[in-house]
Amino acid sequence: MPKSLFSNNNEDKLIISTDGGSRGNPGPSAIGVVIGDREYFEKIGKATNNIAEYQAVIFALKKARQILGGKKSKETEIEIKMDSELVQKQLSGKYKIKEDSLKILFVDIHNLIFDFKKVFFKHIPREENKRADSLVNKALDS
């Protein structure tokens, strides 16, 4: 497993940064994901900011599972950092999810969590999420 994926060479914990954004809310939307030294971004069509944030988490968990493989995934803790406090609190179970479109995405995320030892969602200030945010803008500008 490439050490560049893991922070502080701790191969039991993978830190991922995610961001999703929409121009128009709803409008053209994209996601940005940073896993170690790897960066991913893509347009996701017309969506709201919150849907884009959820889609970024789904992409990140699927990509982490693909990179790690099944056995290593089960041994790895995942920390997902995001600047959306609302989405972080919803995914952590602190806030209820009222929108049906987000409930469906929440179930997808919940099912993906079982592929890992543990998954944490951490809210970070926007200034600390610049890499993932720049990837969203890169996708939207392309």
Which spans in 75-118 are helix H? Answer: 85-91, 100-113
Q: What is residue 11's predicted lDDT score, i.e. its pLDDT?
A: 74
Which spans in the chain are helix H? Answer: 49-68, 70-74, 85-91, 100-113, 130-141
Residues 6+ apart with CB under 8 A from 87: 50, 53, 54, 57, 121
Q: At residue 86, does pLDDT exceed 70?
A: yes
Query: What's the pLDDT band for 105 if we cut at 50, 70, 90?
Result: very high
Torsion, CA 96, CA 51, CA 108, CA 10, rounded to 10: -90
**37-74 pLDDT tens trace:** 999 999 999 999 999 999 999 999 999 999 999 999 99
- The percent of residues in the chain predicted with pLDDT above 70, rounded, is 94
Domains identified in the chain, total number: 1
**118-141 pLDDT tens trace:** 999 999 999 999 999 999 999 999
Number of H helices, E strands in the chain: 5, 5
The pTM of the full predicted model, rounded to 2 decimals, is 0.94
Q: What is residue 1's predicted lDDT score, i.e. its pLDDT?
A: 52
Torsion, CA 93, CA 97, CA 101, CA 106, rounded to 10: 10
CATH number of the domain to which 19 belongs: 3.30.420.10
